[in-house]
Amino acid sequence: MNDHKKTVYLASINHAIPPYWQNMANDLGSAVNFAFPCIEIAIDLNLFYSEERGQYHSTLILSKILNRLPKNGEKIIGVTNVDIFVPILTFLFGEAQLGGKGAIVSTCRLHNEFYGLPQDDRLLYARTIKEVLHELGHLLDLVHCRDYECVMHSSTYVEDIDLKKPQFCPVCQSILTTD
């Protein structure tokens, strides 16, 4: 059956996914039945930098990520470590096209150091997995869930992410179609 798994590419933008996260594909695959090959992509993020905000325009980066979707892939999720925004929001953990092909996740505000706390690589990894699954859920048509432990719960603060489990609740899981 593995041959028939759909492929969601994880795109490490300018080396945002460190080598020690090599288990990411397996961890994501245990939450949802897709294959998650990781590719490295280079994007000149300076083009999308807003001097005024000191952040990078999420939707514009997302359009570049979409151009890098390999032909055999269903979807692509780009991971960046820069701080991203859309004009109506102060910041974003990620952005996805609902039911679409592409998403972006920023690890910038998933780092403890961002909040003046000691570096915690395991926590950073756990938060990133949850945010990748969250954006993947949107790509698979899921909207936000009221269950605060569900990965589809909306997160305003990083503490909200820490309350979530790295999986879809039974209701969201029943809506997901992975075949």
Residue 140 in contact with Zn ion, rule: CB under 5 A: no
Residue from 32, 152, 158, 161 in contact with Zn ion (CB under 5 A) = 152
62, 139, 140, 172: which one binds Zn ion (CB under 5 A):
172
Q: Based on CB atoms, which residue is closest to Zn ion, 12 or 167?
A: 167
The 96-135 site mask, x for binding Zn ion (CB under 5 A), equals ----------------------------------------
Among 24, 28, 69, 145, binds Zn ion (CB under 5 A): 145
Question: Which range touches Zn ion (CB under 5 A), out of 18-26, 56-64, 114-122, 162-170?
Answer: 162-170
135 is catalytic: yes
Q: Hey, what's the torsion of the CAs at 108, 114, 120, 122, to 10 degrees?
A: -30
Q: Which residues contact 98 (CB under 8 A, 6 or more apart)?
A: 138, 139, 141, 143
Determine the Cα–Cα distance for residues 113 and 122; give it in Å rounded to an integer: 13
Candidates 13-21, 61-69, 103-111, 150-158; binding stretch for Zn ion (CB under 5 A): 150-158
Cβ-based nearer residue to Zn ion, 14 or 62 = 62
Kindly report the backbone phi and psi dihedral angles of residue 36, in degrees, each rounded to the nearest multiple of 5, phi listed first: -125, 70
- Answer for which of 65, 92, 136, 150 binds Zn ion (CB under 5 A) is 150
Q: Are 39 and 70 in contact (CB under 8 A)?
A: yes
- What one-character-per-residue DSSP string does 82-109 give? S-EE-TTSS-BSEEE-TTSSEEEEE-GG
Rounded to an integer, what distance in angstroms lies between the CA atom of residue 147 and that of residue 59? Answer: 27
* Amino acid at residue number 175: I
User: Mapping DSSP to helix (H, G, I), strand (E, B) and coil, where does residue 137 land?
Assistant: helix
Q: Which is nearer to Zn ion, 47 or 98 (CB)?
A: 98
Q: Which is nearer to Zn ion, 42 or 89 (CB)?
A: 89
> Which residues are designated catalytic?
135
Binding region for Zn ion (CB under 5 A): 145, 147, 150, 152, 169, 172
